[in-house]
Structure 1
Amino acid sequence: MPAVSTLKGVGPQLSKRLEKLQIREVADLLFHLPLRYQDKTKIAPISSLQPGDERLIEGVIQGCAVRFGKRRSLLCTIAGQNSTLTIRLFHFNKQQQIALKEGTSVRCFGEIRRGPSGLEMVHPEYRIIHPDRPAPELEKNLTPIYPATDGVRQRTLLSITTQALVRALPLVVELLPDISPLQHMPSLQVALQTLHRPTAETLAALPLCRERIAFEELLAHHLSLQQLRGHYRQDHAFALSTERRVVDSFIEQLPFSLTNAQQRAISEIFLDLQQPHPMQRLLQGDVGSGKTIVAICAALHVTESGFQTALMAPTELLARQHHNNICSLLEPLDISTGFLSGSMNTKDRAEVTDKVISGKTSIVVGTHALFQKTIQFRNLALIIIDEQHRFGVGQRQALQQKGVDEITSPHQLIMTATPIPRTLAMTFYADLDSTVIDELPPGRTPIKTVTIPEFRRDEVLERVHANCKQGRQAYWVCPLIEESEVLQCQAASESAKEIQQRFPDLSVGLVHGRMPPAEKDKVMGNFHKGDVHILVATTVIEVGVDVPNASLMIIENAERLGLSQLHQLRGRVGRGAIASSCLLMYRAPLSKIATERLQTIRESSDGFEIARKDLEMRGPGELLGRRQTGTPQLRMADLVRDQHLIPMVEDIARQMLQNSPQDKITRLIKRWIPDAERYRSTG
Structure 2
Amino acid sequence: MQGEDPILSRDVQYVKGVGAARAKLLYKMGLRTVRDLVQHLPRYHLDRTQFRSLREVRPGETATVEVRIQSIAEHQGRRVPVVAALITDGTAYGQAVWFGQPWIARTLPPGTTVVLSGKVERERGQPKFVSPEWEVVQDEEAELLHAGRLVPVYPLTEGLRPREMRRLMREAVLLGAPRMPDRIPPEVARRQNLLPAPVAWQEAHWPTDRATLEAALRTIRFEELFLLEVGLQLLKQRVQDPRHGICHQPSGRLWEAFRAALPFELTPDQERVIREIRADMESPRPMHRLLQGDVGSGKTIVAAAAMVVAVDSGYQAALMAPTEILAEQHYLGLRRLLEPLGIRPVLITSSLKRREREEALAALRHGAAQIAIGTHALLESDVVIPRLSLVVIDEQHRFGVRQRARLQAKGIEGRYPDTLVMTATPIPRTLAMTLYGDLDVSRIEQKPAGRQPVATAWRTPDQRDHVYQVLVEKFIRAGQQAYVIAPLVEESDKLEAQAATALYEELSAKYPEVRFGLLHGRMKPEEKDAVMAAFREGAIQVLVATTVVEVGVDVPNATVIIIEEADRFGLAQLHQLRGRVGRGTQRSYCVLIADPKTPEARQRMEIMQRTLS
* Corresponding position of 1:674: none
Change (3 A) 1:217 1:560: closer
Name the CA distance, whole Å, in 2 between partners of 1:422 and 1:310: 27
Please say if 1:475 is aligned against 2:482.
Answer: yes
Residue by residue over 1:193-216, the C-alpha shift from the partner in whole angstroms, topping out at 9 and shown as x without a partner, is: 99699999x999886677556534
Aligned to 1:76: 87
Query: What displacement does 1:300 show?
Result: 0.9
Distance 1:42 1:508 in 2: 46
Q: Secondary structure at the match of 2:234?
A: helix
Q: Secondary structure of 1:272's match?
A: helix
CA contact 1:478–1:491 (8 Å) conserved in 2: no
- Structure 2 counterpart of 1:114: 120
Residue 406 (structure 2) pairs with residue 395 (structure 1): no
1:376 aligns with 2:384: yes
Shift of 1:358: 1.2
Q: In the alignment, what sits opposite 1:630?
A: none
Say which SS state the counterpart of residue 237 (structure 2) adopts: helix
Rate the CA distance shift 1:184–1:13 in 2: closer, same or farther, 3 A: closer
Q: Which residue of 2 aligns with 1:633?
A: none
Matching residue within 419, 422, 432 for 2:426: 419
The corresponding residue for 1:103 is none
Alpha-carbon distance, 1:474 to partner: 1.5
- The sequence identity of aligned pairs, in percent, is 32
How many Å apart are 1:176 and its aligned residue? Answer: 1.1
1:60-99 CA distances to partner (integer Å, 9 max, x unpaired)? x6954547564224433112xx577778897567897465
Local SS of the residue matching 1:389: helix
Conserved in 1, the CA contact under 8 Å of 2:15 and 2:172?
A: no
Q: Structure 1 residues 423, 591: CA separation in 2 closer, same or farther (over 3 Å shift)?
A: farther
Contact map agreement 1:87 1:124 (CA 8 A) in 2? no
Aligned to 1:71, what secondary structure does the other structure show? Answer: strand
Distance change in 2, residues 1:237/1:556 (3 Å): same
Per the alignment, in what secondary structure is the counterpart of residue 300 of structure 1?
helix
Report the TM-score when normalising by structure 2.
Answer: 0.71
The C-alpha deviation readout for 1:488-524, integer Å capped at 9, x for no partner, is 6645764796699526xxx877655566555655665
The structure 1 residue matched to 2:238, chosen from 209, 217, 231, is 231
Q: Which residue of 1 aligns with 2:358?
A: 350
CA distance in 2, matches of 1:340, 1:95: 55
Contact 1:289 1:439 in 2 (8 A): yes
Q: Which residue of 2 aligns with 1:651?
A: none
Look up the SS of the partner of 1:123 in the other structure. strand
Q: Indicate yes or no: 2:369 matched with 1:361.
A: yes
What CA distance in whole angstroms lies between the structure 1 residues aligned with 2:544 and 2:207? 56
Write the deviation string for residues 129-187 of structure 1: whole angstroms up to 9, x where unpaired.
xxxxxxx6799xx99999998697577568757xx96xx79xx77851647x9447378
CA distance, structure 1, for counterparts of residue 464 and residue 277 of structure 2: 46
1:219-274 superposed Cα distances (whole Å, 9 cap, x missing partner): 22332333333333346353223657343663355343322322232233233334
Q: For residue 446 of structure 2, what is the aligned residue in structure 1? A: 439
Contact 1:111 1:124 in 2 (8 A): no
- Deviation (angstroms), 1:35: 10
Alignment match of 1:334 (pick from 335, 338, 342): 342
Contact 2:41–2:205 (CA under 8 A) maintained in structure 1 = no
In the superposition, relative to structure 1, how do residues 231 and 44 fare at CA in structure 2: closer, same or farther (>3 Å)? farther
Deviations 1:594-613 (A, max 9, x none): 7765554444214xxxxxxx
Contact 1:492/1:512, CA 8 A, preserved across alignment = no
Aligned counterpart for 1:264 among listed residues 267, 272, 276 = 272
Structure 1 counterpart of 2:89, which letter?
Answer: I
Q: Is the 8 A contact 2:390 2:419 kept in 1?
A: yes
- The 3-state SS of whatever aligns with 2:539 is coil
Matched, 1:462 2:469: no
Give the aligned partner of residue 125 of structure 1: 136
* Secondary structure of residue in 1 paired with 2:120: strand
Q: TM-score, normalised by structure 1?
A: 0.65
Secondary structure in 1 matching 2:137: strand
Distance in 1, Cα, partners of 2:543 & 2:311: 38
In structure 2, the gaps of 5 or more residues are 155-162
* 1:492–1:510 contact (8 Å) kept in structure 2: no
Q: 1:152 to 1:421 in 2, by over 3 A?
A: farther
Describe the shift of the 1:220–1:492 C-alpha distance in structure 2 as closer, same or farther (beyond 3 A). same
Counterpart pick for 2:313 among 305, 308, 313: 305
Contact 1:266–1:297 (Cα < 8 Å) also in 2: yes
The answer to whether the 8 A contact 1:511-1:536 is kept is yes
Contact 2:250 2:310 in 1 (8 A): no
- Post-superposition offset of 1:545: 3.1
138 and 600 in structure 1: CA distance in 2 versus 1, 3 angstrom threshold = closer
1:547-558 → structure 2 map (5 Å cutoff): 547-548=555-556, 550-555=557-562, 557=564
Runs (5+) with no aligned partner, structure 1: 101-105, 129-135, 607-683
The aligned residue for residue 329 of structure 2 is 321
Q: Decide whether the 8 Å contact of 1:112 with 1:119 is kept in 2.
A: no
Q: Aligned equivalents of 1:227 and 1:412: distance in 2?
A: 18
Q: Which residue of 2 aligns with 1:247?
A: 255
* CA apart distance, 1:299: 0.5
User: Secondary structure of the residue that 1:443 maps to in structure 2?
Assistant: coil
Deviations 1:606-626 (A, max 9, x none): 4xxxxxxxxxxxxxxxxxxxx
> Relative to 1, partners in 2 of residues 1:269 and 1:237: Cα closer, same or farther, differing over 3 Å?
farther
CA distance in 2, matches of 1:299, 1:451: 41
CA distance in 2, matches of 1:36, 1:458: 34
Match of 1:385 among 393, 398, 408: 393
1:225 partner SS: helix
Name the residue aligned to 1:542: 550
Cα–Cα, structure 1 residues 229 and 54, in superposed 2: closer, same or farther, change >3 Å? Answer: farther
**What is the one-letter code of the residue matched to 2:229?**
H
Q: Distance in 1 between matches of 2:204 and 2:540?
A: 61
Secondary structure of the residue aligned to 2:381 is coil
How far apart are 1:294 and its partner, in Å? 0.8
For residues 284 and 229 of structure 2, the distance between their equivalents in structure 1, rounded to whole angstroms, comes to 25
CA distance in 1 between partners of 2:604 and 2:46 (Å): 31
**1:538-576 residue CA offsets vs partner (Å, 9 max, x unmatched):** 24443323344x153353636366354444344334333
Distance in 2 between the 1:486 and 1:99 partners?
Answer: 44
Q: Which has the higher contact order (CA 8 A, sep 6+)?
A: 1
Q: What is the aligned residue count?
A: 560
